[in-house]
Structure 1
Amino acid sequence: MKPDSNIHHAAADGYPVTADNYVRGRPDYAPELVAWLRDFIGLGPGKTVIDLGAGTGKFTPRLVATGARVVAVEPVAEMRAKLVAAVANVVALEGTAEAIPLPDASVDAVVCAQSFHWFATRAALAEIHRVLKPGGKLGLVWNMRDARVGWVAKLDEIVNRYEGDTPRYYTGKWRSAFPFEGFDPLHEEHFAIGHTGSPEDVIVRRVRSSSFIAVLSDADKARVEEQVRALIDSEPELRGRTELTVPYETAAFSTTKR
């Protein structure tokens, strides 16, 4: 089976054409994750961690910084190429969450940053369980816009109407994969972070980087951008700004293989 034959059509079709937007439009992660990776995931020199669904490598440098050996697993070739070009000292493999190309009990941790909602199935958890050593850690990380801010909620309303059947973190459907025999209950942490840059990068490119936006017709994509730019022009906090900060929240979940 080809690695990309088992992934959602929005990811398989959308990410190859929007990898550049993903690199520039997606935010970094909360600095508190440095301690989280050490204290909850147990990363450090001498450890091996899989960056599962690694994408363009937005989270990968956080893993490299721990001193652990990092193996990135990503099914979309265009995303994987961006990762290889951007991050040194990382092994990048073609694979999926249901078919991780590593032996049984071979890694100390698996981290899924901005990815687990794509493969939140018992089959994926069984495969992750297979490659983890006894006592190994699974970490799930997401960044999401803080919709408690009025203009952010309006932006989400524009974007979300196009999501169709695309899996998303905010729906909470990924949680149905748990509890899972062989893993402890999830431990949850939340951190605040802002994404600062030009409106073109942190808002427009961020919207373009969504897989389900990338697969729209040219007319629909133009309609979305028109609505997004109209929002920017209508909001006092955004209008006329050359630089702004989009508020995000980082959610981090961890569990241990029994």
Structure 2
Amino acid sequence: MDTIHRSAAAGYAAQADTYVSGRPDYPPALDGWLRDDLRLGPGRTVLDLGAGTGKFTPRLSATGARVVAVEPVPAMLARLVARNPDVAAHPGHAEAIPLADGSVDAVVCAQSFHWFSTPAALAEIRRVLRPGGTLGLVWNVRDESVPWVAALTRIVDAYEDDTPRYRTQNWRAVVPGPGFGPLHERRLPHRHVGPPEDVIVGRALSVSFIAALPPGEQAAVAAEIRGLIAATPDLAGHDSVAYPYETVAFHCTASG
């Protein structure tokens, strides 16, 4: 199966710009994960798989490794290329990666693996990895111990239908799989700081299944979220707010 889920195909095509502004970056401490766990650096090659608009791509480039990006949604790929002109970027799917066997030292899936967490995709990832190479999975996850974040989740999740998501943990049924060693995990605190219209409203509108809604329903979701902001003392009237996240990072090593 190399088709794109309808939520991704429609939502990300329509809201690629909102994805860029509404999504958080990643904590500086993640640099240690890239260096120590994924062993990225000069002389290494890394594949940014399901790279989206290239939100994580500059972090990979900063390691000194050669970066190759693969993304199936044309609107997302166009923004990736515009923002990262020095990166070799290709259209493609996780189950049909347009790279040669054993051609990369690491594959990184940032905010993406839940979309294609199938045995076929894992086998294709293993194919392009060199023996001893690493698969890295990373997500920014909302901290729902904060009451307003939990309330925001309830608003958004009412529309999720069958959309693949990190929070279901279904992806864990696939990794680690054949050809890979144990899965290792790191957890890092993180915050997205900025205007509430960007980091809260824009973040919600960038969720695939919200972005795929008709304009009237999107407007209703946005109005409900703005109502939540207005009713929350920590948010109301603030030019800048801190949206709490936890960054979760996993890696496993390809066997020889």
2:211 aligned residue (198, 211, 214): 214
* Matched-pair contact (CA < 8 Å) for 2:95–2:124: yes
Query: How far does residue 222 in structure 1 lie from its aligned partner after superposition?
Result: 1.6
* Matched-pair contact (CA < 8 Å) for 2:81–2:87: yes
Q: Which residue of 1 aligns with 2:130?
A: 133
1:155 aligned residue (152, 156, 160): 152
TM-score (norm 1): 0.97
Q: Which residue of 1 aligns with 2:181?
A: 184
Query: How far apart, in 2, do the equivalents of 1:199 and 1:178 lie?
Result: 36
Q: Which residue of 1 aligns with 2:7?
A: 10
Residues 4-26 of structure 1 show CA distances to partners (whole Å, capped at 9, x for unaligned) of x6111110111011000000000
1:119 aligns with 2:131: no
SS at match of 2:15: helix
Query: How far apart, in 2, do the equivalents of 1:52 and 1:232 lie?
Result: 35
1:255 aligns with 2:252: yes
Query: How far does residue 218 in structure 1 lie from its aligned partner after superposition?
Result: 2.1
For structure 2, which runs of at least 5 residues remain unmatched after alignment? none
Q: Which residue of 2 aligns with 1:84?
A: 81
TM-score (norm 2): 0.98
What amino acid is aligned across from residue 174 of structure 2 in structure 1? A
SS at match of 1:6: coil
> Which shifted more, 6-15 or 115-124?
6-15
SS at match of 1:105: coil
After TM superposition, the structure 1 = structure 2 runs for residues 184-203 of structure 1, keeping only pairs within 5 Å, are 184-203=181-200
2:50 aligned residue (47, 50, 53): 53
Q: Which residue of 2 aligns with 1:224?
A: 221
Residues 122-171 of structure 1 show CA distances to partners (whole Å, capped at 9, x for unaligned) of 00000000000000100000001110111000001100111111111111
- Give the 4+ runs in structure 1 shifted more than 3 A: none
Q: Which residue of 2 aligns with 1:99?
A: 96
Query: How far apart, in 2, do the equivalents of 1:256 and 1:112 lie?
Result: 14
Query: How far apart, in 1, do the equivalents of 2:175 and 2:69 lie?
Result: 24
Query: How far does residue 191 in structure 1 lie from its aligned partner after superposition?
Result: 0.3
Paired residue total: 255
Query: How far apart, in 2, do the equivalents of 1:144 and 1:227 lie?
Result: 21
Query: How far does residue 178 in structure 1 lie from its aligned partner after superposition?
Result: 2.6
- Of all paired residues, the percent bearing the same amino acid is 62
Query: How far does residue 238 in structure 1 lie from its aligned partner after superposition?
Result: 0.6
What amino acid is aligned across from residue 89 of structure 1 in structure 2? D
What amino acid is aligned across from residue 228 of structure 1 in structure 2? I
* Matched-pair contact (CA < 8 Å) for 2:176–2:252: no
Query: How far does residue 220 in structure 1 lie from its aligned partner after superposition?
Result: 1.5
Query: How far apart, in 2, do the equivalents of 1:35 and 1:226 lie?
Result: 40
Query: How far does residue 179 in structure 1 lie from its aligned partner after superposition?
Result: 3.5
SS at match of 1:202: helix
Query: How far apart, in 1, do the equivalents of 2:175 and 2:195 lie?
Result: 39
What amino acid is aligned across from residue 70 of structure 2 in structure 1? V
2:60 aligned residue (56, 63, 66): 63
Residues 81-123 of structure 1 show CA distances to partners (whole Å, capped at 9, x for unaligned) of 1111112420000001001000101110000000000000000
Query: How far apart, in 1, do the equivalents of 2:168 and 2:48 lie?
Result: 23
